[in-house]
């Protein structure tokens, strides 16, 4: 009775307290041992058993992707997470949840840390052994995997189960190996996936704004944040802007000079972007501009149609020339024709087609002829098969008709025999239960007036009755 309050006052361990920095939601595993030089002038190199980069290491490093391990307690979720999916100890969505004997769910790391201080459930303080922990139901894992979380690099909303795959393969802001990793220099730096399709950018370059020498891979970040000359006044509105974003600002600057929207049709008016709407009502081309735009679209459409028709006509002319030059080959038997280039007809005119086009067209025409021949043969084969099936099924139909008639005759004979047998039995046993007292002239001359014997059936009739 005295131990329970003491145990209740013990602080519960936080399983994530061993993490040195929760501000980094994920870590990168390069899976490659690198050797960074002590001096800044020495570029970093990959270390291997041999002084040079072997072919085996190049084949293994053909993929520049890196494996990203995410700390699921440091990511940001979309909206409020269901309380039933939150661990009672760390107050975060479950990570590898386990179920206790008292039907409570915890993160495996959280409950392991709690059991290291005492074998009691953190909620109801009932005795709890580490061996009694079981894996949570599959439904809990499915709900946790479907939680929407933000990518720590690009802030895109994704299911929690797909964050590592997104960072490893698709996120443009995630880090990958530098393309120079596959070259002889073996660059061991990392770059963002968005610029990984370029060459190695880890070389010194001069900033175009302040002329400071930095690495080309860090040029954008330097010009946006650290460059001393990164700001300049706009030439139109006198607002300080980044030099690297000057062109984007000019496209949207309200004081920048812009031409009228109908300038391509002859209007020469120019004004500031914020005052250009005042000219729209007085422009002399406002009535003919939309019509000119519509006519321009129609002309472009007609040009495309004419171009398509011209190409089709040209193709037909080429085919006609080829057919005229290949009449000798078309007169040969189909079984003697060959698709090889040596057996194709040669062009006779000087303005014949290219050899490659001649070969393709000859193949096309030959295949069309063969298809026609095969279609005719297939029609003949179908007709022959139809006649053969008709000739084979006609005797079968006649035999079936004979069998049906024989069956009907047999049924009639059986019914007649059964009826005859029943009449004989009635005649034999219909006189009374006992024997006759005296014989008469009409009675049979037998022993004690026995009834006459019934007619004996033939063997064939008896067999028929037995089978029935």
Please indicate, yes or no, if residue 369 is contained in any of the structural domains.
Answer: yes
Average pLDDT of the segment spanning 233-247: 86
- In the chain, what percentage of residues exceed pLDDT 90? 20
Shared domain for 19 and 163, answered yes or no, is: yes
> For residue 142, what pLDDT is reported?
92
Q: At what angle do helices 288-325 and 355-429 cross, to 10 degrees?
A: 80
Shared domain for 63 and 106, answered yes or no, is: yes
> For residue 110, what pLDDT is reported?
93
Q: Where are the beta strands (DSSP E) in 7-50?
A: 26-29, 34-35, 45-46
**Could you tell me the pLDDT band of residue 444, with boundaries at 50, 70 and 90?**
very low
> For residue 436, what pLDDT is reported?
41
Q: Which of 77-86, 136-145, 159-168, 447-456 has the lowest mean pLDDT?
A: 447-456
Q: What is the pLDDT of residues 296-335, one digit of tens each?
A: 889 999 999 999 998 888 888 887 777 776 655 555 544 4
Please indicate, yes or no, if residue 452 is contained in any of the structural domains.
Answer: no
Average pLDDT of the segment spanning 428-441: 52
> For residue 290, what pLDDT is reported?
84
Average pLDDT for the chain: 75
Q: Given a cut of 70, is residue 74 above it in pLDDT?
A: yes
Q: Given a cut of 90, is residue 6 above it in pLDDT?
A: no
Instruction: Return d(Cα 111, Cα 88) in angstroms, integer.
Output: 10
> For residue 187, what pLDDT is reported?
81
Q: What is the pLDDT of residues 251-261, one digit of tens each?
A: 888 888 888 88
**The total number of structural domains that make up the chain:** 4
Please indicate, yes or no, if residue 466 is contained in any of the structural domains.
Answer: no
Shared domain for 224 and 179, answered yes or no, is: no
Please indicate, yes or no, if residue 105 is contained in any of the structural domains.
Answer: yes
**Residue of 290, 254, 288, 249 lying closest to 271 (CA atoms):** 254
Q: What is the pLDDT of residues 273-299, one digit of tens each?
A: 888 888 888 888 888 888 888 888 899
Q: Given a cut of 50, is residue 158 above it in pLDDT?
A: yes
Residue 267 structural domain: 258-286
Shared domain for 247 and 264, answered yes or no, is: no
Shared domain for 165 and 180, answered yes or no, is: yes
Shared domain for 168 and 71, answered yes or no, is: yes
Shared domain for 93 and 105, answered yes or no, is: yes
> For residue 357, what pLDDT is reported?
66
Instruction: Return d(Cα 375, Cα 187) in angstroms, integer.
Output: 64
Of residues 123 and 346, more confidence is placed in: 123
Shared domain for 217 and 275, answered yes or no, is: no
Of residues 346 and 67, more confidence is placed in: 67
Of the ranges 321-330, 333-342, 383-392, 457-466, the best mean pLDDT one: 383-392
- In the chain, what percentage of residues exceed pLDDT 70? 71
Please indicate, yes or no, if residue 468 is contained in any of the structural domains.
Answer: no
What stretches of 262-354 show up as alpha helix (H) in DSSP? 276-280, 288-325, 327-330
**Which CATH number characterizes residue 91's domain?**
3.30.40.10
Max Cα separation, the chain?
A: 155
Phi, psi of 383 (to 5 degrees): -65, -45
> For residue 265, what pLDDT is reported?
80
Q: Which of 9-23, 167-181, 366-380 has the lowest mean pLDDT?
A: 9-23
Of residues 462 and 265, more confidence is placed in: 265
Shared domain for 35 and 172, answered yes or no, is: yes
Shared domain for 223 and 304, answered yes or no, is: no
> For residue 428, what pLDDT is reported?
87
Of residues 345 and 102, more confidence is placed in: 102
> Residues 452, 453, 455, 456: what is their CA dihedral angle, to the nearest 10 degrees?
-170
> For residue 294, what pLDDT is reported?
86
- Decide: 15 and 89 in contact? Cβ < 8 Å: yes
Please indicate, yes or no, if residue 442 is contained in any of the structural domains.
Answer: no
- Residue labelled with tokens 């000057």: 246
Shared domain for 41 and 161, answered yes or no, is: yes
Average pLDDT of the segment spanning 19-44: 47
In a 10 Å sphere around its CB, with 0-12 CB exposed, 13-18 middle and 19+ buried, how is residue 443 labelled?
middle
Instruction: Return d(Cα 31, Cα 57) in angstroms, integer.
Output: 12
Q: Is the pTM of this model over 0.85?
A: no
Q: Given a cut of 90, is residue 189 above it in pLDDT?
A: no
Of residues 166 and 27, more confidence is placed in: 166
**Which CATH number characterizes residue 223's domain?**
3.30.40
Please indicate, yes or no, if residue 336 is contained in any of the structural domains.
Answer: yes
**Could you tell me the pLDDT band of residue 88, with boundaries at 50, 70 and 90?**
very high
Shared domain for 56 and 154, answered yes or no, is: yes
**Could you tell me the pLDDT band of residue 51, with boundaries at 50, 70 and 90?**
very low
Instruction: Return d(Cα 276, Cα 278) in angstroms, integer.
Output: 5
Please indicate, yes or no, if residue 467 is contained in any of the structural domains.
Answer: no
**Could you tell me the pLDDT band of residue 90, with boundaries at 50, 70 and 90?**
very high
Q: Given a cut of 60, is residue 120 above it in pLDDT?
A: yes
> For residue 241, what pLDDT is reported?
87
Q: Given a cut of 60, is residue 465 above it in pLDDT?
A: no
**Could you tell me the pLDDT band of residue 431, with boundaries at 50, 70 and 90?**
low
Of residues 349 and 129, more confidence is placed in: 129
> For residue 83, what pLDDT is reported?
92
């Amino acid at each position: 009775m005295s131990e329970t309050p003491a145990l209740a006052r013990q602080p519960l361990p936080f399983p994530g307290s061993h993490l040195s920095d929760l501000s980094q939601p994920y870590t990168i595993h390069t899976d490659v041992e690198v050797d960074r030089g002590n001096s800044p002038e020495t570029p970093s190199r990959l270390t291997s058993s041999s002084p040079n980069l072997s072919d085996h290491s190049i084949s293994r490093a053909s993929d520049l992707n890196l494996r990203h391990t995410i700390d699921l307690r440091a990511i940001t979720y979309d909206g409020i997470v269901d309380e039933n999916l939150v661990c009672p100890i760390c107050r975060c969505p479950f990570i590898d949840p386990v179920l206790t004997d008292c039907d409570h769910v915890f993160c495996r790391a959280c409950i392991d840390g709690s059991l290291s201080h005492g074998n009691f459930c953190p909620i109801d303080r009932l005795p709890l052994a580490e061996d009694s922990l079981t894996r949570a139901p599959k439904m809990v894992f499915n709900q946790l995997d479907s939680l929407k979380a933000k990518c720590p690099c690009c802030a895109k909303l994704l299911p929690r189960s797909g964050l590592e795959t997104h960072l490893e393969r698709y996120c443009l802001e995630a880090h990958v190996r530098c393309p120079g990793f596959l070259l002889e220099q073996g660059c061991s730096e990392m770059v963002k996936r968005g610029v990984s399709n370029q060459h190695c950018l880890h070389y010194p370059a001069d900033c175009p704004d302040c002329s400071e020498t930095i690495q080309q891979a860090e040029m954008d970040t330097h010009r946006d944040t650290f460059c001393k000359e990164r700001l300049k006044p706009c030439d139109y509105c006198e607002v300080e802007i980044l030099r690297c974003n000057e062109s984007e600002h000019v496209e949207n600057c309200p004081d920048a000079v812009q031409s009228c929207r109908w300038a391509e049709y002859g209007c020469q008016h120019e004004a500031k972007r914020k005052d250009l709407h005042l000219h729209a009502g007085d422009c002399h081309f406002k009535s003919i501009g939309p019509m000119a735009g519509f006519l321009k679209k129609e002309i472009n459409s007609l040009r495309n149609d004419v171009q398509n028709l011209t190409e089709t006509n040209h193709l037909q002319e080429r085919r006609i020339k080829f057919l005229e030059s290949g009449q000798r080959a078309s007169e040969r038997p189909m079984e003697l024709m060959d698709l090889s280039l040596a057996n194709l007809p040669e062009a006779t005119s000087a303005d014949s087609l290219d050899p490659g086009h001649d070969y393709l067209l000859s193949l096309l025409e030959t295949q069309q002829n063969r298809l026609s021949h095969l279609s005719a043969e297939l029609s003949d084969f179908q007709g022959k098969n139809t006649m053969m099936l008709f000739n084979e099924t006609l005797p079968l139909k006649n035999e079936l008709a004979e069998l049906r008639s024989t069956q009907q005759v047999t049924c009639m004979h059986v019914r007649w025999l059964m009826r005859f047998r029943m009449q004989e039995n009635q005649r034999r046993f219909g006189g009374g239960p006992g024997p006759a007292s005296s014989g008469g002239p009409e009675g049979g001359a037998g022993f004690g007036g026995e009834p006459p014997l019934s007619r004996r059936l033939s063997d064939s009739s008896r067999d028929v009755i037995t089978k029935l």
